[in-house]
Amino acid sequence: MREIRRILIVGLTSNPGGMETFIMNIYRRFDKTKYQFDFLTTDATMAFSEEAEELGGRIFFAPQKRKGVAAYRAYLETLFTENHFLAVCYQRCRRLTDLSVFAIAKAKGVPIRVLHSHSTKILNPSFSYRVLSALAFPRLSHYINYFFACSPDAGRWMFGNRPFTVIPNCIETERFTPNSERRKQIRNRLHAEGKVVLGTVGRLSDVKNPLYLLEIACELKKRAFPFVFWHVGEGELYSKMSELINERGLKQDFLLLGSQKDIPTYMDGMDLFLLPSLYEGFPMVLMEAQASGLPCLVSEAVTRDANLSGELHFLPLTDGVSTWADAIESTVVPSVRQGYAELLREKGYDLGRLVERMEAFLDQIEEEE
């Protein structure tokens, strides 16, 4: 009987964000009679940990480097000595400042060592980060033999002029086909009858710029525009957002819905999707919104490559919220939603096809071992 080969996924956090969701979507579909995922994190908990373990994955909790580099490296030495991994796949939204994972993996004979870029920038980098990442950058190719990126921009930012492979942020396209019955039910449940439902799905963090969404909501309320905003997601700005919503009298207009599993239903209920991010790699959530047929207003920080359906409308953040409010008021909401799931499948953004591609890649490497 064929041995099940294990793949170590590094870099997932306690936050169920886009990167974590993307990896779990892949993991659910992988052929676990051939390949099994394990996970290495330095967070105290990991998003989706219960499900990952139910699927057969093991979660390894390494000590944080800032509490002691020696203890961190000793943990890695033990991990790679006691376990035989076919691959190490490090998911990153920041440039590497430490190459220990790859250096030890290479020394222990792990044949596939992947660095996967999920971003194009870092907000307010510290001096130490700039120095350490600059020192690590020239040595990447010594320890890493495969470079992946969610978009061309993310690859160029993380890897410079090194060759890399674009692994698009694919989605389960079939789940996001518009459904009128789901739309009716969610709008009734959240009392959105007669209103334009604006929405977003994402982490409540500075990078996603949720405070800007609040300013837009205040502007629309001043104009007596009949809207309600649904924010799906959690994050470190939750308490601050809640306080500001109450202070500005938006309790009935701006709903913090927290983390939700059934994202297609919430997108069915929305009329217009907003993403005023300060920077992005290649937002998976925009693939989902486009598959759902939602018109999207997004910041100019979002890569133009994400506009697969022609429904992305790019707006500057510097012009102020009045520009965004004008765009919202002038957007015509179609009475019948046309989804773009088939279009995304044709353009290579279907998760099932991506999993087939990744399994074929691993199969080929195994044959060459």
Task: Read off the pLDDT of residues 59-90 as tens digits, 9 standing for 90 and up.
Answer: 999 999 888 889 999 999 999 999 999 999 99
- CATH number, span 5-170+350-368: 3.40.50.2000
Q: Which CATH class is domain 173-346?
A: alpha beta
Q: Which residues contact 80 (CB under 8 A, 6 or more apart)?
A: 104, 105, 107, 108, 110
Query: What local confidence, expressed as pLDDT, does residue 365 receive?
Result: 82
Query: What local confidence, expressed as pLDDT, does residue 253 receive?
Result: 97
Closest by CA to 198, choosing from 296, 86, 75, 343, is 296
Dmax over CA atoms of the chain, in Å, equals 68
C-beta separation of 365 from 85 below 8 A = no
Helix intervals (H) in 47-194: 49-54, 69-82, 100-107, 127-136, 140-143, 152-159, 180-189
Neighbours of 339 (CB within 10 A): 20
Confirm whether pTM is higher than 0.85. yes
Is 1 a residue whose pLDDT tops 60?
A: no
Q: What is the mean pLDDT of residues 203-208?
A: 93
Report the mean per-residue pLDDT for the chain. 94
Instruction: Tell how far CA 13 is from the center of its chain.
Output: 12
Where exactly are the structural domains of the chain? 5-170+350-368, 173-346
Instruction: Of 48-57, 187-196, 285-294, 327-336, give the lowest mean pLDDT range.
Output: 327-336
Q: Which residue type, as a one-letter code, is found at position 129? A: Y
CA distance 334 to 271: 8
C-beta separation of 73 from 107 below 8 A = no
Domains 5-170+350-368 and 173-346 share a fold: yes
pLDDT per residue as tens digits for the range 300-321: 999 898 999 998 999 999 999 9
